[in-house]
Amino acid sequence: MLWKSWKTMPEETKITVRNQLSTNYNLEYMDEDKFAYVNRLFSERYKQWKSDMHQCFQKFDDPQVALEEGCPNELEDRQDSWVWLCGHFSDPTYVKKAKVNKINREKKTLHHHSGSRPFSYRMEARRKEGSKFPEIDVFADVYVRPRNELTQSLHATMVEKRQVVLQESASHLPPNPPIESVDPSEDAGFHIVTETLDQTFGRRPGTYCRGMGNARRRETEASSSSQSKTKVTALT
């Protein structure tokens, strides 16, 4: 089901979202992959919104005070939603899970500044702007920040590799055209980013690609030889 990841969402909210979606879009011809992508997208947006609401709740030491005085402006006409959220944030199960999530975030080696906008949207926007290496450009957009020497160094390495790829591609095209006119392979930027991050942090098992969010995944397939082949999957 499209909404199975929204187990904690109030039923009234689910109905509202369903009605709005059905009104604006024809879902009849969507296949399983598209539904999975929409589900993942909505889940990410909902998590970001709930995180914003949780920050409002945490401004108050007393849950009762938060309930009475902390309602955000966007929920002024929906007090029942704020009542539900305060109860949800006060639930011992949620409190325990929030602490575990905080510990896991502190263990992360890279912290993006992308907000709630999916990486796939950013990459598509970069492609439309004419970027030949959208993954590298998006890495710079969401990770590289002043005084962050690690991400600056990683990005510099990616830029160097990007230049090598362009020069190598140009060398195979007579009569050696200028680098600006060379079009690298579609996945060149993806391979540069994943190779650079894997060399620095080590490759994670499974399909998750570090630094790519949910925009790109590895699909590992078994082969007849002792080695495995890796297929790159783009979520568009």
Alpha carbon separation from 42 to 10, 35, 38 (Å, rounded):
15, 10, 6
- Over residues 45-80, the pLDDT tens digits come to 787 888 889 889 989 989 999 999 999 998 888 889
Q: Where are the domains of the chain?
A: 11-106, 119-205
- Over residues 175-196, the pLDDT tens digits come to 767 777 888 888 899 889 989 9
- Is 25 a residue whose pLDDT tops 80? no
Report pLDDT for 232.
Answer: 43
- The string of DSSP letters for 51-79 reads HHHHHHHHT-SSHHHHHHH---GGGTT-H
Report pLDDT for 14.
Answer: 66
- Is 1 a residue whose pLDDT tops 70? no
Looking at the DSSP bridge assignments, the partners of residue 233 are 217
Report pLDDT for 38.
Answer: 73
Report pLDDT for 137.
Answer: 93
The Cα–Cα gap between 174 and 189 comes to 24
Residue 217 in 3-state DSSP? Answer: strand
> For tokens 């190598």, what's the residue?
168
Give the helix/strand (H/E) hosting 219.
strand 216-221
